[in-house]
Structure 1
Amino acid sequence: MQFGVFSVSDITRDPVSGETPSEAERIDAIGQIARKTEEVGLDVFAIGEHHNPPFFSSSPTTLLAAIAATTKDLVVTTSTTLITTNDPVRVAEEYAMLQHISKGRMDLMIGRGNTAPVYPWFGQDIRQGLPLALQNYDLLHRLWREDVVDWEGEFRTPLNGFTSVPRPLDGVPPFVWHGSIRTPQIAEQAAFYGNGYFANHIFWPTEHSRQLIEFYRERFEHHGHGTAKQAVVGLGGQAYIAKRSQDAYREFRPYFNEAPVYGHGPSLEEFASSTPLSVGSPQEVIDKTLTFHDAFGDYQRQLFLIDHAGLPLQTVLNQLELLGGEVIPVLRKELDARRDPASADAPTHESLVRARYGDGPVRQARPAANRGDNVTGGSPYLDA
């Protein structure tokens, strides 16, 4: 089981101090948050992708590469990479490069995002959002697995004898999570390819997420990738922790009330009781998170949103101390005790390498002389 945090990269006014951080301050803060995530013993740090104010993370691979360079064990990932408006060739190149730079300590989550205007900004039509997501991932999947790709589709020019560089580290593509909160077709796509399915379990009641996860697991088994128990599931969540429950509610209330996404709606108490939002003492957050296992069974990754809605950096760092010091150690122990041995482990680069090669030699890509110029075609690589 992997635990971590994710950020949507918002730059939001602090309703308590009245101050709004600059872009430079928020970008610097994200580096500190990621390094603190590793320091307190968590496994994963994820950042979203947005191309409009009030967000700053328009180039997640650049940011994650910098984080990977200043950490040792932390897995860096996205939440999410926009598979609809990014060209899949560019995604293949950028994330393979990140895979090399991080020495395999990365994966990525792909999705459609939640910002409608991004489609025309990148020359796409939002009415084609789902077909774009399906077709673009199909191409990305091939680009990482075939040294030379011939391809033709609806939404971009054809590829003839194309090779994406660099090739994946150790000949093993990065693990992909398909993120969705509402669309069965995305769960089906994840199952078809044998990839992971990430339910951003934040705004919706548990039953909504459970239906999508159960559908994904059934289809994963149907497509022959293993049993339903071996399907790979991740969950989002959000938490605000204090030593005492009443302090958690008192401290978080002004941020919740003014949050751009859910502020000025249901009360904090109503929202916490009807959604996965966890507010309270460490034990209350532990208890709430364990209900996710009650609902979904074994899953492989749990990410918490903790830096949104204008929360100041020091508060976020304090949250990480509580999360890593008092919450996650108990959750690891409790969930490990509940775990079915037939369930899948969380995927890592090392586990994917073992699955492909066993005890055999690992393939390292080396360009062959006078090959792979994307004009003559042919295999541009020698096995090594």
Structure 2
Amino acid sequence: MVNTMQFGIFTVGDVTTDPTTGRTPSERERIKAMVAIALKAEEVGLDVFATGEHHNPPFVPSSPTTMLGYIAARTERLILSTATTLITTNDPVKIAEDFAMLQHLADGRVDLMLGRGNTGPVYPWFGKDIRQGIPLAIENYALLHELWRKDVVDWEGRFRTPLQSFTSTPRPLDGVAPFVWHGSIRSPEIAEQAAYYGDGFFANNIFWPKEHFIRLIELYRERFAHYGHGTPEQAVVGLGGQVFMRKNSQDAVREFRPYFDNAPVYGHGPSLEEFTDQTPLTVGSPQEVIDKTLTFRESFGDYQRQLFLMDHAGLPLSTVLEQLDILGEEVVPVLRKEFASGRPSQVPDGPTHAALVARRDAGDGTESPVPAGSPA
């Protein structure tokens, strides 16, 4: 397939009371629901399922690779990713091992999104200092990057014990590391880091106005080119989004409003109408979702991956599965066609393991060392 974008869903794994029934799912129910949602994503023809990582209530996905390994055994095509892998509080050695293991189990259908998370107390829980968030992200990824590319690593840094003649096992599948996205809501330092390594940059694109993310993505594209990885248009960009759909837009608004008004992340703040006007949230008909999502290219340029958040705020599983049917049957096929139309040939496809192996074997430098210097 030529010039393909990837479409999928991401979940934060919140356990939230349904405001319309007063019922709160158990942790087991929520975990099983996330699996059902992933299986449905493949069934309806989506490309990617991504789970967040959290270590505090009301969230359940504390072990993303465990969940993704289970889903890998029950799917065939779906790319399995994370919506956040905490590069600041996880040991880079353990990340290297866990995701390489997952690569082998899933036959390469794996990538990951690194981030600092949105829960401040997680830092001391894992023996880290939140005031060192950016330096931790930069140093820990430098080590992770090396662990996947060198069979024997000697390492000394500020934040962990030194490594001497260390080999991370298993080695990455086919000798190619999983593709890495660096996710950020607010930090230009992370856009710079993604550009430095020639990795992907994922702009959450949910809670803030688009102008904020336009600045971050433009910075990433400019610095991607500066570091010699290609033109700004060849940088690899992913975007988040939020949708709730019904055939009739008034029905969608009426049904979603109580969930929006009581959602832990944005309830009791701006109105639903204000939020949909100022952010990428779309509540309406499938055509309205198509129309608004297509505007993302006008704002951010051609990009590689579009993920939607659909299972939060207490929405029951049955409703989420209905939403996925609509997304897969009525929305994504149109988006695929429209985004492919007029897409320049030099714009890269969404990343896959097979493509990374092919590019490595072609000797185009995809897996070559990064430039000397510091990303910060």
For this structure pair, what is the TM-score category when the shorter chain's length is used for normalisation?
A: over 0.9
Deviations 1:227-258 (A, max 9, x none): 11110000001000100000000000000000
Pairwise CA distance, 1:338 = 3.0
Pick one of 128, 134, 143 that aligns with 2:138: 134
User: Quick one: distance in 2 between partners of 1:191 and 1:270?
Assistant: 33
Deviations 1:19-41 (A, max 9, x none): 00000101111111000000001
Matched, 1:29 2:33: yes
In the other structure, the counterpart of 1:201 is 205
Pairwise CA distance, 1:342 = 1.6
Matched, 1:273 2:283: no
In the other structure, the counterpart of 2:91 is 87
Deviations 1:63-108 (A, max 9, x none): 0000111000000000100000000000000000011110000100
User: Quick one: distance in 1 between partners of 2:125 and 2:185?
Assistant: 23
Q: Trace 1:14-163 onto structure 2 (pairs within 5 A).
A: 14-163=18-167
Deviations 1:275-304 (A, max 9, x none): 010110000000010110110110000000
Q: Which residue identity lines up with residue 303 of structure 1 in the other structure?
A: L
Q: Which residue identity lines up with residue 178 of structure 1 in the other structure?
A: H
Q: Which residue identity lines up with residue 215 of structure 1 in the other structure?
A: L
Q: Which residue identity lines up with residue 273 of structure 1 in the other structure?
A: D
Q: Which residue identity lines up with residue 43 of structure 1 in the other structure?
A: D
TM-score after normalising by structure 1? 0.93
Pick one of 345, 349, 355 that aligns with 1:345: 349
Pairwise CA distance, 1:139 = 0.1
Pairwise CA distance, 1:313 = 0.2
In the other structure, the counterpart of 2:371 is none
Q: Which residue identity lines up with residue 335 of structure 2 in the other structure?
A: L
**For 2:341, what is the secondary structure of its paired residue?**
helix
User: Quick one: distance in 2 between partners of 1:241 and 1:104?
Assistant: 33
Q: State the number of aligned residues.
A: 359
Pick one of 234, 238, 249 that aligns with 2:238: 234
User: Quick one: distance in 1 between partners of 2:208 and 2:305?
Assistant: 18
**For 2:8, what is the secondary structure of its paired residue?**
strand
Pick one of 317, 324, 332 that aligns with 1:320: 324
Gaps of 5+ in 1: 360-384
Matched, 1:293 2:268: no
Matched, 1:330 2:331: no
Pick one of 167, 171, 180 that aligns with 1:167: 171
Q: Which residue identity lines up with residue 85 of structure 1 in the other structure?
A: T
Pairwise CA distance, 1:347 = 1.0
Q: Which residue identity lines up with residue 254 of structure 1 in the other structure?
A: P
Identical-pair percentage: 71
Matched, 1:304 2:305: no
Deviations 1:194-252 (A, max 9, x none): 00000000011111000000100000000001111110000001000100000000000
**For 1:52, what is the secondary structure of its paired residue?**
coil
In the other structure, the counterpart of 2:370 is none
Q: Which residue identity lines up with residue 57 of structure 1 in the other structure?
A: P
User: Quick one: distance in 1 between partners of 2:268 and 2:337?
Assistant: 38
Cα RMSD over matched residues?
0.7
Stretches (4+) displaced over 6 A: none
Deviations 1:150-185 (A, max 9, x none): 000000000000000000000000000000011111
Pairwise CA distance, 1:344 = 1.2
Deviations 1:347-377 (A, max 9, x none): 1000000011139xxxxxxxxxxxxxxxxxx
Matched, 1:186 2:190: yes
Matched, 1:259 2:259: no
User: Quick one: distance in 2 between partners of 1:307 and 1:270?
Assistant: 21
**For 2:110, what is the secondary structure of its paired residue?**
coil
Pairwise CA distance, 1:340 = 1.4
Q: Which residue identity lines up with residue 21 of structure 1 in the other structure?
A: P
User: Quick one: distance in 1 between partners of 2:342 and 2:250?
Assistant: 30
**For 1:178, what is the secondary structure of its paired residue?**
strand
Pick one of 241, 253, 271 that aligns with 1:249: 253
User: Quick one: distance in 2 between partners of 1:229 and 1:16?
Assistant: 45
**For 1:338, what is the secondary structure of its paired residue?**
coil
User: Quick one: distance in 1 between partners of 2:357 and 2:346?
Assistant: 21
Pick one of 204, 211, 216 that aligns with 1:212: 216
Gaps of 5+ in 2: 364-376
Q: Trace 1:349-368 onto structure 2 (pairs within 5 A).
A: 349-358=353-362
User: Quick one: distance in 1 between partners of 2:255 and 2:108?
Assistant: 38
Matched, 1:282 2:286: yes
